[in-house]
Amino acid sequence: MGMTLSRRSILLLAVGVVALTMLAVAGVRAEDKFIIVQSTTSTQNSGLFDHILPKFTKKTGIEVRVVAVGTGQALKNARNGDGDVVFVHSKPDEEKFVAEGWGVKRYPVMYNDFVIVGPASDPAKIAGLKDAPEAFKKIAEAKAPFASRGDDSGTNKAEMRLWQDAHIDPKTGSGKWYLETGSGMGATLNTAVGKQAYTLTDRGTWLSFGHKDDFEVLVEGDPKLFNQYGVILVNPKKYPNVKAKEGQTFIDWLISPEGQAAIASYKIDGKQLFFPDAREQQ
């Protein structure tokens, strides 16, 4: 009788071990059902990801974990094998990323625009200008405070192109009228308001920004302020750990009618923040 109980106990123990092992494996598989997306503070700060990612996860069961940094840092992180997908906004850098073999293919996803914002007092008198480099030139001439992200982000890259077009090196005013925050868009807008400084921001983050004080959009509408976003799968041939299937599923959803509609439906106070254009460019 004792022997029989012993064998039964051993059998139950074995069954228990098998069950626990199966649960552990299932847990690992469940935890593996996520991707890491290297992206920008503008897509995060604007609230876009909070709006669209739950829709994607509900449809596919794939969780998206976002690392929100500047475009330059996002691409650098991906070059180091950190992440499965990059979702950024500096087309020349994205094309270089793919050409060098770090990414598989660039897909256009959406666009909005950059705007120059500043205090209502407008010391450089730029309100209403449609020429962004001319506005930058006036800011420099007036030595009016300007807050730059200074972080190699897509926004910072766009800003530096505008200074170049204005034939001005703002770094000569660094620490004086030219203030480099080294921060994301939301933090830089906070600095700008606190210092009564002009800044360049993507419209999405501006519309979602809650501490505008007396700040206004002063310059908009210049084609040079166009802001295109693209998405790229990190090359699994470079990094075998890349979750290529799940990452491509995310990309395919973003550029599908369903994903594009999700992007278009994101509004604040009735204003659309991003405009899908994947279909238009393919």
Let me know whether 84 and 169 are in one domain.
no
Q: What does the H/E/C string look like for the chain?
A: CHHHHHHHHHHHHHHHHHHHHHHHHHHHHHHCCEEEEEEEHHHHHCCHHHHHHHHHHHHHCCEEEEEEECHHHHHHHHHCCCCCEEEECCHHHHHHHHHCCCEEEEEEEEEEEEEEEEECCCCCCCCCCCCHHHHHHHHHHHCCCEEECCCCCHHHHHHHHHHHHCCCCHHHHECCCEEECCCCHHHHHHHHHHHCCEEEEEHHHHHHCCCCCCEEEEECCCHHHEEEEEEEEECCCCCCCCCHHHHHHHHHHHHCHHHHHHHHCCEECCEECCEECCCCCC
Let me know whether 52 and 100 are in one domain.
yes
Let me know whether 51 and 146 are in one domain.
no
Number of folded domains in the chain?
2
Let me know whether 93 and 163 are in one domain.
no
Let me know whether 38 and 163 are in one domain.
no
Let me know whether 240 and 271 are in one domain.
yes
Let me know whether 218 and 240 are in one domain.
no
In a domain, 174, yes or no: yes
In a domain, 167, yes or no: yes
In a domain, 282, yes or no: no
In a domain, 161, yes or no: yes
Let me know whether 34 and 50 are in one domain.
yes
CATH number of the domain enclosing 141: 3.40.190.10
Let me know whether 104 and 190 are in one domain.
no
Each residue's pLDDT, cut to its tens digit, for the chain (282 residues) gives 444 445 555 544 544 544 444 444 444 444 569 999 999 988 998 999 999 999 999 999 999 999 999 999 999 999 999 999 999 999 999 999 999 999 999 999 999 999 999 999 999 999 999 999 999 999 999 999 999 999 999 999 999 999 999 999 999 999 999 999 999 999 999 999 999 999 999 999 999 999 899 999 999 999 999 999 999 999 999 999 999 999 999 999 999 999 999 999 999 999 999 999 997 655
Let me know whether 89 and 120 are in one domain.
no
In a domain, 124, yes or no: yes
Let me know whether 188 and 254 are in one domain.
no
In a domain, 10, yes or no: no
Let me know whether 82 and 142 are in one domain.
no
In a domain, 281, yes or no: no
Q: Which domain holds residue 97?
A: 30-112+228-276
The predicted-structure confidence for 45-91, as pLDDT tens digits, reads as follows: 899 999 999 999 999 999 999 999 999 999 999 999 999 999 999 99
In a domain, 9, yes or no: no
